[in-house]
Amino acid sequence: MPIEARAMTAAKQTALDWIEANRAAISADHQTLWEFAEPAWREYRSAAWYVDRLRAEGFEVEAGSAGMPTAFCARWGDEGPVLGGYAEYDAVPGRTQAQTPYRKPREGYSAYAAGHTDPHSALGIGAFAGFIAAKRAFERHGIKARLKFFGEPAEKMCGSKPVHAAHGYYDDLDAAISFHPASFEGFRNSCYWDTACLAYWSKIYTFRCDSPQTWTAEVAATGHGHSSNRAPGSLDAVCMMYTLAKQLKESMLPRSGGWTLNEHVLVAGQATSDNLAPNIGQIQYSCRAPTLAMHEPVFAVLDRTARQVAEMTHCTLEETWVTKTRVGLPNRALAALTFGNFALVGPPAWDQAARDFGREIQRGLGLTPMDDPFPASMSRLTQPEDGEAWMRSMLPPWQMHYGADDYVDYTWHAPTVRLYVARPVLAEPSPGYRYPEWTRYAMGGLAATIDPMWHAAGRTIATTLVDLATDPAALAAAQQEFRERTGGGIGGERWVAPLLPGDFKAPVDFAWPEYVDTPRGREWTLRSP
């Protein structure tokens, strides 16, 4: 049965009025965050912006929560249900793009600098707007509720939410809202119903060659150490690890379930002199898989390979977990409540300025500009059960998890909804046509094309928070479903505990890409040729 729109109330109207009155200011705030474009674990300006604004709104803010310098936990209220949500703000290296209908780095930045892809800048500002609007409504109407708003860095490597969860930050939540820009063709403007996101595990292998002189005995006296045979060292270790893991990949898991394994070289030998053994190399592996059990053999193979490589190259080995997420736990009751409010406020709508920009992109790509360059599904609601049917059509019957996101760690501590709102994308001129990725990045920064998304998200989040605070039966239904799915709630017989230890230290000290301030100005660590 289709989910009907929820009723409008005076408190909801107050929240919506606040968003409308501040729409231009929120749009300007989004531009600020979009320009920061800071990558994972290095979102210093973005996190500081949120901390300052939340404190100005009367929130008590713990900066650097769970030991993560660019995370925060903001609390407001002292009575009523605890309602959680979050902002993300990390950008992706090598994806900078100006707000232009052609490919161009942001002015003054290297082509290899970071840029917002999903975009997290709009994800964060949409959630922020919804929570501030709800708070204003709670204050005006005397509604008892407590808000808990998190800053979640490093989402692109699923970094912070498993850490917050392991440190106990989600244990007091009564319900949580997770919003994400929609990227699925058949799932725009909807909520997850049964299928949820899968698990994401990531690990760094560090190879060190600290004692190269012990590689082998001297074959002949040379009178000079530089003429001796050199230990292979860490660069060879990283190269061998990369190559061997590629060769072994097909033997790690069956060829089903949509699992992936990707790697990233953080340090490659430190560019040591040609006659000295490279002393440190680091390679990171990240795996997505629809069950926790599928991750175990993958990292067992990687661990064995790393140990053998270290021995062959005369290195020591260090293993460091970056993240280990659980799989997502759905909650139909909260999904229905949230979608009912989405139906109340309506889907996003794009105006003529947005369409003009879309047509400029198409014209620049040599395509015939369309009257409406956007798919009709961007401005249409999708009932959760219809979206679920579309999702199931792509997956084998046994697979109930698809797509990686660390919001899944919220779902094991409180009933959590996964809200999707359409992001601006262009309609295909012919079946199977793929636009360059920069087109999405450009539209994610331009106010005319991105504002409708965060605006619809903020309105939906605000009205849902009002319902959770004022409709005890609706909240109780979501909590009852959570207890049933976990076998009793936190600690229940089917509950999955955080996969990281309670004293886990986030891997913030590695050589992650970042901006640096030099006498030449602010630069990206990978400079343009």
Q: What is the pLDDT of residues 263-287, one digit of tens each?
A: 999 999 887 777 788 999 999 999 9
* pLDDT higher than threshold 90 for residue 320: yes
CA distance 183 to 422: 7
Helix (H, G, I), strand (E, B) or coil at 60: strand
Question: Pairing state of beta strands 175-182 and 260-268?
Answer: unpaired
Question: Pairing state of beta strands 175-182 and 60-63?
Answer: unpaired
Residue 134: partners with Cβ closer than 8 Å, 6 or more residues away: 15, 145, 147, 461, 462, 465, 466, 469
193-234 pLDDT, tens digit each: 999 999 999 999 999 999 998 998 655 555 555 667 788 999
Q: Compute the average pLDDT of residues 341-370.
A: 98
CA distance 523 to 529: 13
* pLDDT higher than threshold 90 for residue 520: no
DSSP letter for 67, please: G
CA distance 40 to 14: 36
CA distance 85 to 54: 13
Q: Residue type for 174, please?
A: D
Tokens of 137: 């409504």
Q: Compute the average pLDDT of residues 8-35.
A: 98
Q: Which residues of 324-349 are buried (b: 16+ CB within 10 A; e: fewer)?
A: bbbbbbbbbbbbbbbbbbbbbbebbe
Work out the percent of the chain whose per-residue pLDDT is above 70.
97
CA distance 305 to 249: 11
For residue 189, give the nearest of 374, 405, 362, 442 by alpha carbon.
Answer: 374
Beta-bridge partner residues of 262: 286
* pLDDT higher than threshold 90 for residue 185: no
Q: What is the pLDDT of residue 529?
A: 46
Tokens of 118: 């999903």
- Helix orientation angle between 233-248 and 292-312, rounded to the nearest 10 degrees: 140
Helix residue ranges, H only, 401-446: 437-443
Q: What is the pLDDT of residue 186?
A: 86
Q: From the centroid of its chain, how far is CA 391?
A: 20
122-135 pLDDT, tens digit each: 999 999 999 999 99
For the ranges 208-212, 274-278, 374-378, 481-485, which has the lowest average pLDDT? 274-278
Q: Residue type for 289, please?
A: A
Residue 170: partners with Cβ closer than 8 Å, 6 or more residues away: 84, 164, 176, 409, 410, 413, 414
Residue 117 CA: distances (Å) to CA of 94, 423, 440 = 10, 11, 7
Q: Compute the average pLDDT of residues 80-90.
A: 98
Tokens of 6: 């929820």
Q: What is the largest CA-CA distance in the chain?
A: 90
* pLDDT higher than threshold 50 for residue 73: yes
Q: Compute the average pLDDT of residues 476-498.
A: 98
For the ranges 248-262, 338-352, 486-500, which has the lowest average pLDDT? 248-262
Question: Pairing state of beta strands 146-151 and 82-87?
Answer: parallel
487 CB burial (10 A radius; 0-12, 13-18, 19+): exposed
Residue 149 CA: distances (Å) to CA of 59, 130, 173, 334 = 9, 11, 11, 18
* pLDDT higher than threshold 90 for residue 500: yes
Q: Quote the mean pLDDT of the chain.
A: 95
* pLDDT higher than threshold 90 for residue 47: yes
Domains of the chain: 10-195+330-486 (3.40.630.10), 201-322 (3.30.70.360)
Beta-bridge partner residues of 516: 523
Note the residue count of the chain: 529
Strands of the 190-191 sheet, one edge to the other: 60-63, 72-76, 146-151, 82-87, 175-182, 416-422, 190-191
CA distance 397 to 440: 32
Q: Compute the average pLDDT of residues 450-477.
A: 98
Strands (E), 209-315: 260-268, 280-289
Q: What is the pLDDT of residue 108?
A: 87
For residue 346, give the nearest of 192, 456, 448 by alpha carbon.
Answer: 456
